[in-house]
Amino acid sequence: MRCDWRNGWFLLYSTGFPVYKKAVIDKRTDRAGECGDSFGVLYVVATPIGNLEDITLRALRILAEVSLIACEDTRQTRKLLTHFKLNTPLTSYYRGREVSRAAQIITALKAGRDVALVSDAGVPCISDPGYILVREARQAGIKVTPIPGPSALTTAISMAGLEAERFLFCGFLPPRGNERRKALRLLTSEPALLVFYESPHRLLKTLSDCLDILGNRPAALCKELTKIYEQCLRGSLTEIINGLRDLPRVRGEYVLLIEGRADLPPRPESDDIIELLTWQRQTGVSLKDAVRRLAADLGLSRSKVYTQALEIWKSHDAD
């Protein structure tokens, strides 16, 4: 299907012939000078994550009508606009230049120009610096209007088949191994579904760290969402790792979903902690390892466990 925007009408090409559809505009939300009489509006616009047919009619109208589109990569967004025959001016807004670019965009908004904020794919402000522009706009009294649409996060959850009554979106894990493992240790006791984004060149290392720290939990790995080669691997972390190793090359951006911890024990009393620490001391475990293991197993802060462990170790050494 192709869709063009022409003077308030959408031309939908689904069978080779154009079908005209009048755009229904809700002026209560899309155009109002509520925050500043002469200010423009900042629209936060979701764009397709793969299949261009997923763009909404409202998003197309906004992208056609605004004075400027702020985007991560002008080359990527230009492809989207070209497909729908739009020629709205673009300005780059990306990590590393977000502060200076935000100031320029705020100036345009204060001058009465409407601006659309988009990311390369999906909903802006999720794992990108868009929030800085939104924050600055709100602080300046500029109206911010969301234009919802496709999201890799919710799309992956919908196809994974994992219980998602509660989920914790963790974005991208740190690229360095020690920092990544430290971040994962903080999640060992989290009962909610864990959702991560990951790049292909770190994927196997991240999966191995997840297996080592979180255990062999049920998981799903989604890639190329809404595209021709869309794929979702389901199984334990071990099964997913083995499946990836059989592939000649790992490509594409990934969404990794891991089941939360389902076997959390009741929070232990102080006497229980002392008993467990005493047993570990008697079996020759070092103070550092005992604190790390017990804090992770019981979901307690290391500082609390360390205070009690130190007394037990000192008492044992004195004996």
- Model confidence over 79-124: pLDDT tens digits? 999 999 999 999 999 888 889 999 999 999 999 999 999 999 999 9
- 43 and 121: one domain? yes
The pLDDT tens digits of the residues spanning 127-183 come to 889 999 999 999 999 999 999 999 999 999 999 999 999 999 999 999 999 999 999
- 157 and 101: one domain? no
- 203 and 299: one domain? no
Residue 212: CATH number of its domain: 3.30.950.10
Residue 116 lies in a domain: yes
- 77 and 63: one domain? yes
Domain count within the chain? 3
Domain endpoint, select from 115, 150, 185: 150
pLDDT at position 314, please? 74
Residue 10 lies in a domain: no
- 83 and 178: one domain? no
- 166 and 279: one domain? no
Range of the domain at 277: 270-318
Residue 300 lies in a domain: yes
Residue 37 lies in a domain: yes
**Phi, psi torsion values for 172, nearest 5 degrees:** -90, 130
Evaluate if residue 225 carries a pLDDT over 80.
yes
- Longest C-alpha distance within the chain, in Å? 91
- 44 and 127: one domain? yes
- 294 and 230: one domain? no
Alpha-carbon Rg for the chain, nearest whole angstrom, is 25
pTM of structure: 0.74
β-sheet bridge partners, residue 150: none
Please give the residue that has the higher pLDDT: either 266 or 95: 95
3-class DSSP state for residue 189? coil
- 130 and 63: one domain? yes
CB crowding 241-264: b at 16 or more within 10 Å, else e: beebeeeeeeebbbbbbbbbbeee
pLDDT at position 174, please? 95
For the chain, give me the number of helices (H) and strands (E)? 12, 13
Evaluate if residue 218 carries a pLDDT over 90.
yes
- 179 and 67: one domain? no
Residue 54: CATH number of its domain: 3.40.1010.10
Residue 126 lies in a domain: yes
How far is Cα 224 from Cα 73, in angstroms, rounded to an integer?
19
Residue 264 lies in a domain: no
pLDDT at position 17, please? 43
Evaluate if residue 264 carries a pLDDT over 80.
no
Residue 21 lies in a domain: no
Residue 196 lies in a domain: yes
**What's the DSSP call for residue 201?**
G
Please give the residue that has the higher pLDDT: either 282 or 36: 282
- 34 and 143: one domain? yes
- 117 and 134: one domain? yes
DSSP H helical ranges for the chain: 27-30, 57-65, 74-83, 98-110, 130-139, 152-160, 177-185, 203-214, 237-245, 270-282, 287-298, 302-318
Q: What is the pLDDT confidence band of residue 7, given thresholds at 50, 70 and 90? A: low
